[in-house]
Amino acid sequence: MKEKLLLEKSYHLYRKSLEIVPGGSLGVRRPTFYIGEEYPLFLKSGNGGRVLDVDGNEYVDLICGYGPLILGHREKEIDDAVCEKLKTHGYCFALTHEMQLELAQKLTEIIPCAEMCLFAKTGSDVTTTAIRIARHVTKRNKVLRCGYHGWHEWCVTGKGGIPKKAYEDILPFPYGDLNLLEDLLKEHGDDTAAIIITPVEHELNRPVKDPEPGYLEGVKELADKHGALLIFDEIRTGFRYHIGGAQRWFGVTPQLAAFGKGLANGFAISALVGAKEYMQAAADAVYISATYYSDGLAQLAALKTIEILERENVPQALREKGNRFAQRVEALIKKSAVPCLYSGSPFMPYFTFHSGDESKDRRMRDVFFTSLIRNRILIGPNHHGYIAHRHTAEDLKAVLDAIEEALADVSTAV
Ligand SMILES: Cc1ncc(COP(=O)(O)O)c(C=O)c1O
């Protein structure tokens, strides 16, 4: 195993932050989400597929902002367009930027379910908007949910500070089992407003899995049968599976869909899109507005991002690059005989360990990810990574070499 990285400044900043920022930082940026004091906590800059931490360590970045960076850091064409607009036009207006119309038109052209679009900032904003619209139009209360949909009261995992009534009508169901979903609907179908699901299974700490053939079609059929709206949470799959989202790739069209990460290569914007008959509710009865939702710069970044995604056929390029990478990773795993499972759509790679003994799996995981980070590969142990369009062959070669070493370290240590 390589030597531990020098992370003095990261942990100095972290300890200082603990005094004035609860937990030092928010959610998945805390050391508890990584391994001991092995991971950097503060980053300074990024370029293409790499990032530099505050201690001067450079990494191949497979976290990619937890998803927004579909192209890579500092994508010149996007950044130049945004900087130019900022300098020549200003930014924060009370009213709407004209780019909103252009962006909405673009999304309606490329996303199957998109007849209308509204824009917000975060994924949580638009999954929550979708639920609100569904409850309004169906006049029903219950929501069946599968996957991570953000931090708002109805769906957040930690329940501190949330009254039970905020989520008592929210019923989780496991991915992949139509019978269990049907059982839930038999009991609650009359009062179910919506089924919200990530089209691909990508829960924390679990292998990433595409749907079995017929699964998404089955979910849609059940939703239709019980008069519930089907909502796809495409925050991670959007623009990666296909320019038109996982719904286009798998050929199943929901009534509403939430998009965010990947839409603007890191600029904060999300979109709820869907059929006019439902989306129209947000024109009057369902109130959606926030000071920063009319963000023209993020809309411009989104337009530029989509232009590049289409021009360079990025979703297909990501798939091909990811498939080549996956083949090499699988060969390394096979050679090592470590019970490591490489899962994920080719551009959402993840490693889990399955020896049949949970504590051994945890130790293997810790050794594996410690070895990777010491080899300057930034990917979290609990969350799948992302391959970005600007990851070069050299970046991915560095990752493969590090994986080979990490598997050898696991073999030696566990
Ligand atoms: C599938 C999915 N839905 C919703 C969200 C919430 O998005 P945000 O963190 O931008 O609120 C996330 C964030 O990771 C996500 O992965």
Contacting residues for 371 by C-beta, under 8 A, at least 6 apart: 1, 2, 402, 405, 406, 409, 410
The residue nearest atom 13 of ligand 1, judged by CA position, is 150
pTM of the prediction? 0.97
Residue 1: inside a domain: no
The pLDDT, as a whole number, for residue 135 is 98
The pLDDT, as a whole number, for residue 2 is 96
Whole-number Å distance, alpha carbon 150 to ligand 1 midpoint, is 5
Q: Which residues of the chain have pLDDT under 70?
A: none
288 in the same domain as 177: yes
Pairing of strands 58-61, 377-378: parallel
145 in the same domain as 110: yes
Closest alpha carbon to 199 in 283, 265, 256, 131: 256
Find out whether 345 and 245 touch, Cβ atoms under 8 Å: no
335 in the same domain as 281: no
The pLDDT, as a whole number, for residue 404 is 98
Measured from the Cα of 202, ligand 1's closest atom is 1
70 in the same domain as 212: no
The residue nearest atom 14 of ligand 1, judged by CA position, is 150
User: pLDDT of 53-101, one tens digit each?
Assistant: 999 999 999 999 999 999 999 999 999 999 999 999 998 998 999 999 9
Contacting residues for 244 by C-beta, under 8 A, at least 6 apart: 110, 111, 112
344 in the same domain as 229: no
Pairing of strands 340-343, 350-353: antiparallel
- What element of type H or E holds 370? helix 358-374
Of the CA atoms within 13 Å of residue 402, those in its CB half-sphere come to: 23
Residue 63: inside a domain: yes
Of 260, 283, 311, which residue is a domain's last? 311
CATH of the domain at 20: 3.90.1150.10
Instruction: List the Cα angle 347/207/274 in 5-degree steps.
Output: 60
Which range marks the domain in which residue 324 is found? 8-74+313-413
Of 260, 291, 311, which residue is a domain's last? 311
Residue 235: inside a domain: yes
Length of the chain: 414
Residue 333: inside a domain: yes
340 in the same domain as 302: no
Around ligand 1, the residues with Cβ closer than 6 Å are: 66, 122-124, 127, 147-150, 198, 233, 235-236, 260
Of 294, 311, 328, which residue is a domain's last? 311
Q: What's the number of domains the chain is made of?
A: 2
Measured from the Cα of 270, ligand 1's closest atom is 10
